[in-house]
Structure 1
Amino acid sequence: MGNGAVQEARQARKPRVSVKGEQTRARLIVAARSLLAGEDDVPFTTRNVSALAGVTHGMCHYHFKDRTDLIVAVVADIRPEWVTPMEEAVAGPGSFDERAERVIALLSQPEAADLARMHAALHWFSLTDERVRAALEGEYARWRACFVELYRVLATEREGGVDARPLVDAETLGEALAAAADGLAAIQSLGSEVNAAAVVRALVYGLVAGADRLSA
């Protein structure tokens, strides 16, 4: 086989190796998520994650330097399940009312049990691990920014309106809605009798009405 053929063969093998590596990494993250969301008492260690994923402990440390690296990867991995849908709901087309209804629909859905347990575990690790805390804070910052952006849409609509209503303090109202939404999630976990959609709708529009009265 000539040098050109050898080089082509090596290049052909690289994508397969890369794909295999990504598959192994994904299996480790799935296993890490399972342990974090588990209801048993299996300690969260790289050795236990490796065993659950069916890979060697050395291979786990090839992809993740330590336990913190693995936890931070989980923080990023769950983003599409709670942050991204909210970003898309606010960034989508429509008026403030239309976007607000999409936000209300999302906030009205009870958090999945496994995701709730993962969030609880991640918060626990963040108390003693600065890197986990930084990663988690970054995700929550993105989540809160969605609500700020929602009220910025209303502020923009008012700027172009003909009435004399005061402009919206988007940052204050957005942060207030985020804090209230966290509280609602806790209430929902304690009782199913809460009308989540009605509560969230009251929050979204009640914050605006209250701000208007204070600034009038």
Structure 2
Amino acid sequence: MTPTSAERGKETRVRLLDAASQLIAEEGWGAVTTRKVADRAGLRPGLVHYHFSTVTDLLIDASLGEVRHEVEGSLAALRREIDPAAGVEQVLAMAEGYTPDDQLTVLFTEVLLAATRHPRLRTELAALIREFRAALADWLRASAGLDDAEATAVVFAALLDGLVLHRLVDPSLTAQPITGPLRRLVGAKESTDATGTKDATDAGRG
């Protein structure tokens, strides 16, 4: 069946957004141009401005789409865990995927910097972050029974963001065991083996 005009337009828009996301990570926010996006997407340059008012609008929509996808995926994974300790493990497993050479990791850092210069990006990114913190607080309240779930969610989310950023410049931090401190932050019990020994992730932490 031949695609309709609306379907072709949607496909074109998706290709442009994907191309923009790739270029933000590869070359940096300020280096992305109409022609580069069109070339990467395999489309005519005129289509960029047909679907987006400016290149900046394209970059904002592309980056927010990536962030939104990650937020939704992270929350979906977290909500599958009713035990706070298991939830911490799940979150850390996801954070481990954000390595210095990972495209999404680099894109996120570019987005944070760009948000200081573009009001719409800052406003919509802040809304996504608040959505994540609110959902995290709901989960902490339900799974760990925390009275200060909102405050804990703020600290927990900021800690994870900081960890990812620090690992960008110091990859050796991947070897640093932090599961124990995070468990204590959310009020989860430290896991033990059959002999009652602390989990190996807490080795050397007293």
Q: TM bucket by the smaller chain?
A: 0.7 to 0.9
* CA shift for structure 1 position 36: 0.4
Aligned residue for 1:120? 109
Asked whether the 8 Å contact 1:151–1:170 carries over to 2, the reply is: yes
Of the structure 1 ranges 174-183 and 111-120, higher mean CA displacement relative to structure 2 is found in 111-120
State the TM-score, normalized to the length of structure 2. 0.75
Counterpart Cα distance in 1 of 2:53 and 2:67: 22
Q: Does 1:96 align with 2:114?
A: no
Aligned residue for 2:56? 68
Asked whether the 8 Å contact 1:173–1:208 carries over to 2, the reply is: no
* CA shift for structure 1 position 55: 2.0
- Structure 1 residues 114 and 104, CA gap change in structure 2 (3 angstroms): closer
1:175-214 → structure 2 map (5 Å cutoff): 175-195=154-174, 198-206=177-185, 208=187
1:112-191 → structure 2 map (5 Å cutoff): 113-156=102-145, 167-191=146-170
- Pairwise CA RMSD: 2.8
Counterpart Cα distance in 2 of 1:186 and 1:198: 17
Structure 2 stretches lacking a partner, 5+ long = 189-206
Counterpart Cα distance in 1 of 2:29 and 2:122: 23
- Structure 1 residues 168 and 154, CA gap change in structure 2 (3 angstroms): farther
Aligned residue for 1:164? none
Counterpart Cα distance in 2 of 1:24 and 1:68: 17
Counterpart Cα distance in 1 of 2:179 and 2:73: 17
Q: Write the letter of the residue equivalent to 2:94.
A: L
The superposition leaves residues 50-86 of structure 1 with CA deviations (integer Å, 9 ceiling, x where unpaired) of 2332322321112112123212221232136521221
Counterpart Cα distance in 1 of 2:54 and 2:171: 40
Aligned residue for 1:36? 24
Identity %: 27
Q: Write the letter of the residue equivalent to 2:103.
A: D
Structure 1 stretches lacking a partner, 5+ long = 1-11, 157-166, 210-216
Find the residue that maps to 2:98 and give its secondary structure.
coil
Bigger helix fraction? 1
- Structure 1 residues 181 and 58, CA gap change in structure 2 (3 angstroms): same
* CA shift for structure 1 position 144: 2.6
Counterpart Cα distance in 1 of 2:26 and 2:147: 43
- Whichever of the two has the greater Rg, that structure is 1
How many residue pairs were aligned?
187
Question: Which of 49, 70, 79 lines up with 2:67 in the alignment?
Answer: 79
Counterpart Cα distance in 1 of 2:179 and 2:57: 36
The superposition leaves residues 134-165 of structure 1 with CA deviations (integer Å, 9 ceiling, x where unpaired) of 12222222333343223212354xxxxxxxxx
